[in-house]
Amino acid sequence: MRVAIAMTSALVLLAPVTPAVATSAQAATGSVFTAATVTQAADGSYTVGWQAPDAGTVAVTATTDASGGGAGTAVGSGGATGSLTVPALPAAPRWYFRLVPAHGTPLVVADRSLHLAHARNFRDVGGYRTADGHWVRMGAFYRSNKLSELDQNELNSLTADNVKLVVDLRNGSERSDDPDKIPAGATYQVADLIDITKGLPTGPDLTLALLLALPFLLKSSKDAEQNLGYRLMVNAPSARIAYRDLMNALASQPASAVFHCTAGKDRTGWGAAVLLTILGVDRTTVYNDFLASNTYYGGDSVRANWLDAAFAEVNRSYGSFDAYVHKGLGLSDATIAALKSRLLAS
């Protein structure tokens, strides 16, 4: 991530410094399913697993409809805790699996990744269970790395998957060097975290962010840079405006949407963490989603202590996550309610 470098460079010029995996699914509240996963293998086959202690038997149907509607194709069944392998299915933008319990509400699951060769960190933000028993819908919002290298088949797949909004978190230079390729019929929106015209942190906020990052220099310069960058993503005015614009855009989007930066791991990672936390997903699951970039994007892409720094800055600057959402991002109760209505299965 270059958020820290870019923001710090801008601050030096403009501001005085004062001393100082796998997937889950959608379901209604009270669903008998406590877990569900889908993994697509290299040969195109799927492994579907679930846990539903009070379900009785579970019938599994493959469908291309994210809502789980339509007749679909029966692919197997099992007990309250089960797993089955589904051979490769006919070509489709995306396959979902409807799990129908003998007792309780059906659940729809899918492999989290869309397996786009030219955007390998493109994956579903949904499919997580909240602390109060809701499930975040799949097939609604996606997170990704840059979309500049998508080929026509991948663009066609996103169009078929009803992606109607692309929110770009990158700065002007990144957007100019690698302009996004947009699915047909989709709207493109910029939410630049490093837009200096919208303001950058100065004085005590910047000084404290720098001081809090310094100890990491003794261990890793990469940790130091990212520790600073993640704090700036919380307290920089330009970043707060960008994340506010992102959440408002998602809340008003009736179709599918994707938000992304260059690698889809840092700026996008914090955006996903904010969204999932607003929805009521527990902190451990939020961290697991964040760290999954090490699997999808590869290597030592992200570290837990970077996300620690962002949440610590939330508490330092605002006292609580709720205060950050309302005061820092300026999100209204209506926007939060719209996000929950759009994304939480009822």
Alpha helix positions (H), 101-167:
152-160
| Residue range 57-82, pLDDT digits in tens | 999 999 999 988 878 999 999 999 99
Can you list the domains of the chain with their CATH numbers?
3-21+141-343 (3.90.190.10), 25-111 (2.60.40.10)
Maximal CA-CA distance, the chain: 67
Hey, which of 10-14, 209-213, 337-341 has the most confident mean pLDDT?
Answer: 337-341
Assigned token pair, 58: 């579970």
Alpha helix positions (H), 42-183:
152-160, 172-177
User: Which of 83, 84, 26, 34 shows the shortest CA–CA distance to 55?
Assistant: 34
Give this prediction's pTM.
0.86
CA-CA-CA-CA torsion sign (212, 217, 277, 330): positive
Instruction: Give the C-alpha separation, 271 to 90, whole Å.
Output: 34
SS3 136: strand
Q: What's the rounded mean pLDDT across residues 91-97?
A: 92
Cβ atoms within 10 Å of 152's Cβ, excluding its own: 8
Alpha helix positions (H), the chain:
3-14, 152-160, 172-177, 203-213, 221-235, 237-251, 267-279, 283-291, 293-296, 304-318, 321-323, 333-343
Q: Give the sheet arrangement for strand 123-124, strand by strand.
A: 123-124, 141-144, 256-260, 163-168, 187-190
Instruction: Give the C-alpha separation, 85 to 229, whole Å.
Output: 43
Assigned token pair, 91: 């070509």
SS3 117: coil
Helix, strand, coil in percent for the chain, rounding step 5? 40, 20, 40
In degrees, rounded to 5, the angle at the alpha carbon of residue 280 between the alpha carbons of residues 278 and 283 is 95
% of residues, the chain, pLDDT over 90: 68
User: Which of 163, 52, 173, 184 shows the shortest CA–CA distance to 114?
Assistant: 163
pLDDT over 50 at 21, yes or no: no
SS3 196: helix
SS3 184: coil
Supply the pLDDT for residue 215: 52
In degrees, rounded to 5, the angle at the alpha carbon of residue 137 between the alpha carbons of residues 185 and 294 is 85
Supply the pLDDT for residue 263: 97
Q: What's the rounded mean pLDDT across residues 178-194?
A: 96
Supply the pLDDT for residue 203: 53
Confidence class of residue 223 from pLDDT cuts 50, 70 and 90?
confident
Confidence class of residue 338 from pLDDT cuts 50, 70 and 90?
very high
Count of alpha carbons within 13 angstroms of residue 158, beta-carbon side: 32
Assigned token pair, 169: 């978190």
Q: What's the rounded mean pLDDT across residues 145-155?
A: 98
Supply the pLDDT for residue 18: 29
Supply the pLDDT for residue 68: 84
The DSSP code for 63 is E
User: 36 forms bridges with which residues in the sheet?
Assistant: 50
Which residue is it, tokens 């970077």? 306
pLDDT over 70 at 40, yes or no: yes
- DSSP string covering 293-335: HHHHT-SS---HHHHHHHHHHHHHHHSSHHHIIIIIS---HHH
